[in-house]
């Protein structure tokens, strides 16, 4: 049986209000319609004792419309109705699904699922939480989960956050902040140089179940309150000055080049003056003068190789002195 024929038969049976029953194939079990973050998924289990190649076909309806064809001739045990191109799931609608199993030309009876109220029964996923330490405070930034259709704030206008925070390893002493609508919250009553952990849940008025809790995120406080905008402002001013200097250098490059490397030369009379030889009288006198004559006197050095005995005659000493040679320097 081709897919087109199957769709035709299913559509005809839907319009006529009848069901296709062969009496041979058992029906699928545990047929359940669920919604997570505003999707719509129909799941089931195969028939008990089923064997061979089985395919499944699904349909869904609202409280004000008839059944619409969903997935056709699939082997998987689920059908994501929000992913069908012809599907137009409404966030405020109430939906019911059904499924049958086929093997060749044989088919089971339809098995209907539970009813889903999209905005009241969908399971809201956990928010994404980021922490930013700023001195002795911590800023909590919350990002809503992504929905399959629309957005959380479009569906739940008055959604609020429940924030739980505690010192690391002291969860039993946790503190709570409830009914917060802002997605940025500053925790002020913290101790400096301490590690704190935070967890967030979303509450809505139209959905009785809170969202899944976020993952636990931890951050350390410090002592001095920092001002990150100061660093950003300094960086901005520095970059602006650098760009301005670059523009000036490009526009006035010729003037700057001429200032540091002037092309003008010295006048000719300056060159002649600087290269002319000196004409000072003192310099000329020093250049033409002769070295002065050195004046010296002859010096005589007397040496005696003998030793005079004590009480010797004076004449002998004089004779000795007369025999010494003269040395002239």
Answer with the residue of higher pLDDT: 273 or 16. 273
Of the segments 77-91, 167-181, 257-271, 305-319, which one has the largest average pLDDT value?
Answer: 167-181
Contacts within 8 Å (CB) and 24+ apart, 212-217: 212/123, 212/124, 212/125, 212/126, 213/126, 214/126, 214/127, 214/128, 214/129, 215/126, 215/129, 217/129, 217/130, 217/131
Is 184:139 a contact under the CB 8 Å cutoff?
Answer: yes
Residue 306 gets which letter from DSSP? S
The band of 288, judged by pLDDT with boundaries at 50, 70 and 90, is low
- Which residues, including other chains, have CB under 8 Å from residue 303's CB and lie 6 or more apart? 324
- Alpha-carbon distances of 240 from 117, 227, 245, 253, 282, rounded to whole Å: 56, 21, 9, 19, 63
Closest listed residue to residue 120, CA positions, set 46, 205, 42, 181: 205
Domains of the chain, earliest start first: 3-121 (2.60.40.10), 128-220 (2.60.40.10)
Q: Token pair of 199, please?
A: 């967890």
Using the predicted structure, report yes or no on whether residue 153 has a pLDDT greater than 50: yes
Is 124:202 a contact under the CB 8 Å cutoff?
Answer: yes
Strand duo 128-134 + 111-117: pairing: unpaired
Lowest mean pLDDT among 11-20, 63-72, 169-178: 11-20
pLDDT at position 312 is 52
Answer with the residue of higher pLDDT: 28 or 329. 28
Q: Collapse the DSSP code of 232 into the 3-class scheme (helix H, G, I; strand E, B; otherwise coil) and give the result.
A: helix
Lowest mean pLDDT among 27-41, 50-64, 79-93, 105-119: 79-93
Task: Give the angle 199-166-130 at the CA atoms, nearest 5°.
Answer: 40
d(C-alpha 317, C-alpha 197), whole Å? 120
- Alpha-carbon distances of 31 from 42, 75, 220, rounded to whole Å: 7, 15, 48
- Alpha-carbon distances of 296 from 290, 293, 328, rounded to whole Å: 19, 10, 12
- Which residues, including other chains, have CB under 8 Å from residue 324's CB and lie 6 or more apart? 302, 303, 304
Using the predicted structure, report yes or no on whether residue 311 has a pLDDT greater than 80: no
**Mean pLDDT to the nearest integer, 210-227:** 86
Strand duo 137-143 + 175-180: pairing: unpaired
Angle at which helices 253-260 and 228-251 cross, to 10°:
80
With a pLDDT cut of 70, the percent of the chain lying above it is: 71
**Mean pLDDT to the nearest integer, 137-158:** 94
d(C-alpha 80, C-alpha 36), whole Å? 11
Instruction: Give the tens place of pLDDT for each residue, 191-215.
Output: 999 999 999 999 998 898 899 999 9
Query: Where does 90-142 have alpha helices with state H?
Result: 118-121
Answer with the residue of higher pLDDT: 75 or 259. 75
Q: Which helix (H) or strand (E) holds 7?
A: helix 3-16
Is 6:57 a contact under the CB 8 Å cutoff?
Answer: yes
Query: Where does 35-169 have alpha helices with state H?
Result: 118-121, 152-155
Using the predicted structure, report yes or no on whether residue 45 has a pLDDT greater than 90: yes
- Where do we find the tokens 């911590």? 138
d(C-alpha 147, C-alpha 84), whole Å? 16
| 195-203: strand order across its sheet | 175-180, 160-167, 195-203, 217-220
Instruction: Give the tens place of pLDDT for each residue, 90-139.
Output: 999 999 999 999 988 889 999 999 999 999 999 999 999 999 999 899 99
């Amino acid at each position: 049986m081709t897919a087109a024929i199957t769709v035709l038969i299913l559509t005809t049976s839907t319009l006529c209000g009848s069901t296709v029953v062969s009496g041979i194939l058992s029906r699928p079990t545990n047929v359940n319609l669920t919604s997570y973050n505003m999707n719509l998924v129909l799941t089931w289990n195969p028939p008990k004792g089923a064997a061979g190649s089985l395919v499944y076909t699904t349909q869904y309806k609202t409280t004000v419309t008839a059944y619409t064809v969903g997935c056709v001739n699939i082997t998987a045990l689920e059908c994501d109705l929000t992913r069908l191109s012809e599907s137009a799931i409404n966030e405020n609608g109430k939906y019911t699904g059904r499924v049958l199993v086929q093997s060749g030309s044989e088919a089971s009876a339809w098995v209907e699922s539970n009813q889903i109220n999209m905005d009241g029964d969908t399971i809201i996923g956990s928010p994404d939480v980021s922490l930013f330490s700023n001195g002795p405070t911590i800023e909590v930034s919350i990002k809503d989960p992504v929905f399959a259709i629309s957005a959380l704030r479009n569906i739940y206008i008055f959604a609020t956050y429940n924030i739980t925070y505690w010192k690391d390893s002291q969860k039993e002493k946790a503190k709570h902040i409830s009914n917060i609508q802002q997605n940025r919250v500053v925790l002020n009553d913290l101790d400096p140089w301490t590690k704190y952990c935070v967890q967030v849940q979303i509450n809505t008025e139209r959905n009785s179940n809170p969202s899944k809790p976020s993952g636990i995120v931890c951050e350390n406080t410090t002592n001095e309150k920092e001002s990150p905008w100061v660093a950003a402002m300094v960086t901005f001013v520095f970059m602006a000055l650098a760009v301005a200097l670059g523009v000036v250098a490009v526009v006035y490059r010729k003037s700057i080049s001429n200032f540091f490397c002037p092309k003008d030369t010295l006048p000719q009379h300056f060159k002649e003056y600087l290269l002319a030889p000196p004409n000072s009288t003192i310099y000329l006198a020093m250049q033409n003068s002769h070295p002065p004559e050195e004046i010296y006197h002859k010096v005589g050095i007397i040496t005696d190789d003998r030793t005079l005995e004590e009480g010797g005659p004076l004449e002998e000493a004089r004779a000795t002195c007369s025999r010494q040679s003269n040395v002239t320097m």
